[in-house]
Amino acid sequence: MYRRSRLTGRARKLLIGGAAAALAAGAFAVSTGMSSAGENCAGLDTALQNNLSFIADQKANPDALSDARIANRQAVVDLINQRRATAGCTGNVQAKPPAAAPTKAPTKAPARPPTKPPTKAPAAPPAGGAGEVVCKGSTVTLSGEAGVPAASSGTFPIGTTLKVTNLDNNKSITVKVATPSGSCVLLNNAAFEEVREAGKFLIRRAVIERVG
């Protein structure tokens, strides 16, 4: 699923859609052996701004998982800044103003106690293609990179094949590690779209398997 080749200009312009201020739109793809001359400052600046905006939004509207999300995105920001310095990018990139937390309307008391839906049993990983389960308990989010489905990792070397399963919808994808990051595994836009739940930018219940 991963192609070791320089991405076309069209692929570099792919934007990451999403609810959190276009979290990683216009980000860049990096493949093994790409020289710094192939970097595009406009794409790098856009990727940096989207990740900085995501971090600012998490700080402005924190929840129980904000610290983990911020740590993942900070690792991506550090990597982007390294590539901007190598490519000679000098733009002053700032985060967009964080979105205000939505105001909750007063909750009306129900006429009668609501009926609780049956509790679903946790979905099991799909059968077949099982490998060594790694990074137990890790969450999975976006890396901010565009291109064909791929992953980044700070645990496994480039070229490692990983299978990521989202237990909340029983979807899975097998990708190769293409770039380094500060997490066990981050999925780029194309890979994340294959397994995420609609409107969500974090896989909380993930199974990560090393299959190659």
Q: How many residues make up the chain in this entry?
A: 212
| Residue 156: closest CA among 136, 122, 185 | 185
**15-24 per-position pLDDT tens digit:** 333 333 333 3
Most confident of 27-41, 104-118, 171-185: 171-185
Phi, psi of 171 (to 5 degrees): -95, 150
**72-125 per-position pLDDT tens digit:** 899 999 999 999 999 999 889 998 887 666 666 667 666 676 666 665 554 444
3-state secondary structure of 163: strand
Annotated domain spans of the chain: 9-99+125-210
**36-58 per-position pLDDT tens digit:** 445 689 888 999 999 999 999 99
Angle between helix axes 41-60 and 66-87 (nearest 10 degrees) is: 160
pLDDT of residue 114: 66
Strands 151-153, 171-180: parallel, antiparallel or unpaired by DSSP? parallel
